[in-house]
Structure 1
Amino acid sequence: MSPPLFQALHHVALICSDYERSKHFYSEVLGFRIIHEVYRADRASHKLDLEISPTQHLELFSFPSPPARPTRPEACGLRHLAFAVQDIEKTLAELRARGVESEEVRVDPVTGQRFTFFRDPDDLPIELYEQDIR
């Protein structure tokens, strides 16, 4: 078998409906560090680069009147974002203190790992997946 072509996932790009609201959510509520921000006047579009970890980024875009997601969560395309956390209860307590509501914690019947979901300002499902990431 030949070696993998790819080393890691570098970034995920999201299009938001309200740039300032989503910028606040991802940078202030979730705590992702802002790397770079630009307004592209020719497209009437913002682009915000956020650091999840030193090797993983999130790109947040805004465009005038983006179409809504057709259905959820089984629409073709991105189903959800998933973030690894070491302690799901501690992470949920911090998110609740920041005004973020989540579903109940469940256990994956295949892996035995605990997980839950919450939603971003555009109703995009975000998963917390508990695993030892040390």
Structure 2
Amino acid sequence: MTLQRMDNVGIVVGDLQAAVAFFVELGLELEGEAHVEGPSVDSLVALDGVRCDMAVVRTPDGHGRLELMKFHTPPATAAEPNAPVNAFGIRRIMFAVEDIEDTLARLRGHGAEPIGELVQYEDSHRLCYVRGPEGIIVALAEKLG
């Protein structure tokens, strides 16, 4: 048996609509929304009384997905806010973009703040990190040439 693909990355957020709007502005497409609860959900995630709204957004090529989740019950627990890039755990999500400056300008309208500077890596890419909704670090990469 071989691995088929990575299906999605799950991200817990406090404001589902704002997170969806941010990732749609980035260029992802809303694939669907759902509300989940009940004994099978509780058993799956080992929590009692789960009530969760979620939205799945996908990259335009259909190969990458984020599952954005808003837990109503039990309430989400706090992680270290605005953890630095070198903290343990999943730290960032990187997206390839066509025009990094345009993308940055649009994301700033959704509260994104650059973490460092826009840099050019050799002659291959322009890169930057921004902090998006819920402190999620989003890396942007524009291929040169």
Shorter-chain TM band: 0.7 to 0.9
Match of 1:56 among 40, 64, 69: 64
Q: Which residue of 2 aligns with 1:26?
A: 23
Q: Aligned AA for 1:66? A: A
Over the residues paired in the alignment, what is the CA RMSD in angstroms? 2.8
Percent identity, aligned pairs only? 27
Quick check: 1:69–1:75 contact (8 Å CA) kept in 2?
A: no
Match of 1:13 among 10, 34, 39: 10
122-131 vs 100-109, which deviates more?
100-109
Q: Which residue of 1 aligns with 2:104?
A: 92
What count of residue pairs does the alignment treat as equivalent? 127
Cα distance between partner residues in 1 of 2:18 and 2:109:
18
Q: Which residue of 1 aligns with 2:36?
A: 40
Q: TM-score, normalised by structure 2?
A: 0.70
How far residue 122 of structure 1 moved from its aligned partner, in angstroms, is: 0.3
Q: TM-score, normalised by structure 1?
A: 0.74
Q: Which residue of 2 aligns with 1:104?
A: 117
Quick check: 1:88–1:130 contact (8 Å CA) kept in 2?
A: yes
Quick check: 2:59–2:65 contact (8 Å CA) kept in 1?
A: yes
The C-alpha deviation readout for 1:31-54, integer Å capped at 9, x for no partner, is 422111111143210121111122
Match of 1:77 among 89, 98, 108: 89
How far residue 123 of structure 1 moved from its aligned partner, in angstroms, is: 0.8
Q: Aligned AA for 1:11? A: N
How far residue 95 of structure 1 moved from its aligned partner, in angstroms, is: 3.1
Residues 1:31 and 1:113: Cα distance change in structure 2 (over 3 Å): closer
Structure 2 portions without partners, runs of 5+: 39-49
The C-alpha deviation readout for 1:48-87, integer Å capped at 9, x for no partner, is 1111122211111122432222343333221101001133
Q: Which residue of 1 aligns with 2:125?
A: 113
